[in-house]
Amino acid sequence: MKSERGEQLFRFAEQYFIAGAHAAGRFHATLGRPVYAARADGAYIYDVDGNEFIDYYNSAGASFLGYNHPAIRAGIESSLELGFFCNLESEYHSKLAQQLCEVVPSAERVRFNNSGTEATQAAIRLARAITGRSKILKFEGHFHGMHDYVFFNGHWSLGTVLPNGEITPVHDSDGVPGALDALIVILPYNNPEVFVSCMRRHEGEFAAVILEPVMYNAGCILPERRFVQLVRKETERDGAILIFDEVLSGFRMGLGGAQEWLGVTPDLTCLAKALGCGMPIAAIAGRRDVMLGLNPIGATVVSGTYSGHLIEVMGALAAIEQLREPEFYNRLNALARRLYDGVNEIAARRKVKAVCQGLGARFGLYFGVEELPITEFRKVVAAFNQDMNKAFHRLTLDKGLYFHDYGKSLTPMHHGFTGVHTQHDIDETLNRLDDVFAELAQSVGASAR
């Protein structure tokens, strides 16, 4: 991998940004600096040194249709012709909301936001207003954005498991006030006994239960369908609002997202990333009676100058039209099977202790883990081999594959492919990964099966 220009740019950027990046998530921990892109097109990224990468980062999952998609580009250009206005409504806003209400099971009304973090914050505020309660229940390892109310027990460190099964709150960032600990309860995911006992113990206290139906932020830890059904039943019994954070899972394996795949409909859904396929747009969507709590009819204030900017709305409209093409998901899921089965075959043949688990177009690579399916967060934490993970990221860069290294975390982070990756791209990726795993098998950090 050529790096001279990238190193020069890093030294320049360090004069103005912390660690040469204006967002910490763009720092590539193995490389020791960001990858500085010169351009991106389709399934490929090209850096300032002329290196070409088949992309498995996809803007942390946002660029679900790849880069520079002609339909999205046309939508953006149409908005420019209309004056690319913001803080005004248009027919296109209503058309996009109509599309969401047609495909997302929980969506009866929609409000647009700017980011997934903003959407989960708005959903929690609305749940508190509707219920008149303050506490939130979230699950260990689930990530719901970087606002203070939910920035607990995600990627970085484990809390203590208490005798009743609850887990002590751990802040995911400095600066989160300790006073907020009293407003949150942390539980293990996929554990029905602990969940039911907690709901009984805190009966009438929870404004909302929020969850990632598929734990993509821990790679791709799958839900137990019966557990999610139980969560739906218990929240209905208790009067708590059930919020699905589908920022990553929305549209990922089908138009209706994880809720359609599971057959469980929440009260509120938070959408972002694949909603705009690279456009900075998010939304909360949910039951009409709950959404009526929003201003100006209700008293819950959720608004913003840039929310529903015409550029992003028209880009998202074009994206949804592409996702609604009849064969889109048949093709996508066929490529997913080819990729995930191929990676697992290579790992087994090369005798590297690792498995790949994915659903739709997002997946996790679990070095140190041997068995599928993966449904328990703490089992992954106990087994995850950080050294092999770091070696993998170094080798893939050298092989022209872009798997982003977000830095040290308890579990692997998510990777993915896009709707414009071809079978050739997948097959070429598997060829290169065969070489990567061969080198991993010989490295000091590798663990033979």
Could you read off the pLDDT tens digit of each residue along the chain, which spans 449 residues? 898 999 999 999 999 998 988 888 888 888 899 999 999 999 999 999 999 999 999 999 999 999 999 999 999 999 999 999 999 999 999 999 999 999 999 999 999 999 999 999 999 999 999 999 999 999 999 999 999 999 998 988 899 999 999 999 999 999 999 999 999 999 999 999 999 999 999 999 999 999 999 999 999 999 999 999 999 999 999 999 999 999 999 999 999 999 999 999 999 999 999 999 999 999 999 999 999 999 999 999 999 999 999 999 999 999 999 999 999 999 999 999 999 999 999 999 999 999 999 999 999 999 999 999 999 999 999 999 999 999 999 999 999 999 999 888 899 999 999 999 999 999 999 999 999 999 999 885 544 44
Query: Among 286, 262, 261, which Cα is nearest to 100's?
Result: 286
Contact at 8 Å (CB) between 28 and 405?
yes
Give the CATH fold of the 4-68+327-442 domain. Answer: Aspartate Aminotransferase, domain 1 (3.90.1150)
pLDDT score at 408: 82
Contact at 8 Å (CB) between 159 and 140?
yes
186/189 Cα distance (integer angstroms): 9
Options 1.10.10.60, 1.10.443.10, 3.40.640.10, 3.20.20.105; CATH of 70-323: 3.40.640.10
pTM of the full structure: 0.96
pLDDT score at 407: 84
DSSP of 68-134: S-HHHHHHHHHHHHHT---SS--HHHHHHHHHHHHH-TT-SEEEEESSHHHHHHHHHHHHHHHH---
DSSP of 168-228: ---BSSTT--GGGGGGEEEE-TT-HHHHHHHHHHTTTTEEEEEE-SSBGGGS-BPPPHHHH
315/318 Cα distance (integer angstroms): 5
Q: At what angle do helices 310-323 and 70-82 cross, to 10 degrees?
A: 150
Cβ contacts of 91 within 8 Å, gap of 6 or more: none
Which pair of tokens denotes residue 429? 């990726």
pLDDT score at 24: 84
Question: Helix or strand or coil: residue 270?
Answer: strand
Residue extents of the structural domains in the chain = 4-68+327-442, 70-323
Which pair of tokens denotes residue 93? 């806003």
pLDDT score at 151: 92
pLDDT score at 448: 46
